[in-house]
Structure 1
């Protein structure tokens, strides 16, 4: 099964339109249609329901999405690993939740680039459950998440504690004057959410709920409002007076952990890379 077929399937599943998929892939619409038909013939199932006016994924199509993403990632991993072997470099496959990439991992990757010239990086984003499974299965060398699993085969190391500050697009606010009517609730997990609910029990319900800190940041910068954001993510906007700390608001925190296989043959490289986190608390 060719990887191009899976890539075409994913693009059609994203756009639900053969023409839009063809424009994104820089191939003809007929080529897209032919690839999907070939993939359906190989699998022996229909992936899209073409009977309605708008294209729709079948149950088989929905199930294929996860497998297609995994197969494409594994192919990229294999291509890179084979390619770098001739350059005497070591491939380090890293996975993380999206919100952790935004907060600390971008800077960490730059430090690895500057200090570990013999490392080739391959990164991806997963859910917490997928991160645990992918490390245990050897797909990922190292993963970053908020709540590590307690599994005997895994080593867990705390690499950072991320402070979460209440910030607003309006200056000179405090909890007494900030009624949180324009508050955006960001999901930082049950431990932070329960603290927030208890301490703000008399506040009106949040107007918006968002799972990613960066999405909430971009939203309030454009529309106005307030949200709990990682200090690292908000720092630049605080310095430029686009965001303002609500000084008397409680400060929460999330700990970030690295997990990797205890018997990983890359344990030495992983430990060296982890050392480039400057300190546990930012």
Structure 2
């Protein structure tokens, strides 16, 4: 079915190699080529440029990636919803910005699993504007954002306030504030980004840009440097002297909000799950 064609397309677009994609999908290389050809025939466009030594996505192929991911997500949502139709379970579809997952949502999902038996979870990552659109169109049930949408039909509730502190792998590195050498810029939303630009306007550009605090933390511990990271993620490494707080650096904070439709049929179960947040600064 077409779902398999889309899965194959996404794997080829990720690897840009028919053989590697076939190994990852556990099918033959000829099957991968045939699926891509079928999809191209259905759409009436070429998805990959095969004229060069290395495979490249065409502009049409690049545009398909977003739609293919959305279609696969909707198909998974549909399969799960149909599968639990005869049970007492409730399906809850959760969308979030990438950087929020590691900060608060991983532990929250575990609490839902342990405390609410009749719930089936689907999670996905979206850009902020896609979260608002998906929420209003009922593709997702709860959206987690740094800046909640001000829409009459939506309820937005603050679930956490997260302190962000500048840490470095170099002990007593007083030059960090001035130079920010090997600095990793983590995306915490425009509010923190704009504050950072004002206060570090004389510093050199960031060495790396990363959307997830967890990826930045792992990279920092391995390669060295400095970054703004959530306090609760760095505590154990500071205790072990693997990371050091830059005391003179400003401390930022980010409020995280959960938004959902006021007239959602799942409002009761949404409220129940949100009560599992501690509602404190973490």
CA distance in 2, matches of 1:65, 1:176: 40
Confirm or deny: 8 A CA contact 1:158 1:280 kept in the other structure. Answer: no
Give 5+ residue unaligned stretches, structure 2.
none
**1:178, CA displacement in angstroms?**
6.8
**1:198, CA displacement in angstroms?**
2.9
* RMSD value, Cα: 1.8
Q: How many residues align?
A: 282
Say whether residues 1:153 and 2:161 are aligned partners: no
Confirm or deny: 8 A CA contact 1:143 1:260 kept in the other structure. Answer: yes
Say whether residues 1:118 and 2:132 are aligned partners: no
Taking structure 1 as the reference length, what is the TM-score of the superposition?
0.93
CA distance in 1, matches of 2:232, 2:48: 43
| Residue 22 of structure 1: aligned partner | 22
| Residue 2 of structure 1: aligned partner | 2
**1:38, CA displacement in angstroms?**
1.3
Cα pair distance change 1:145/1:177, threshold 3 Å: closer
Give 5+ residue unaligned stretches, structure 1.
none
CA distance in 1, matches of 2:194, 2:16: 39
Give deviations 1:148-190, integer Å, cap 9, x for gaps. Answer: 1111121111111110011111234457887422332323233
Say whether residues 1:74 and 2:106 are aligned partners: no
| Residue 39 of structure 2: aligned partner | 39
Q: Out of 201-210 and 272-281, give the one that drifted further.
A: 201-210
CA distance in 2, matches of 1:176, 1:209: 17
Taking structure 2 as the reference length, what is the TM-score of the superposition?
0.93
| Residue 88 of structure 2: aligned partner | 88
CA distance in 2, matches of 1:148, 1:76: 26
Cα pair distance change 1:29/1:196, threshold 3 Å: same
Confirm or deny: 8 A CA contact 2:158 2:256 kept in the other structure. Answer: yes
CA distance in 2, matches of 1:51, 1:196: 45
| Residue 219 of structure 1: aligned partner | 219
Confirm or deny: 8 A CA contact 1:175 1:248 kept in the other structure. Answer: no
**Deviation beyond 6 Å, 4+ runs, structure 1:** 175-178
Give deviations 1:12-47, integer Å, cap 9, x for gaps. Answer: 111111111101100000010111111122222222
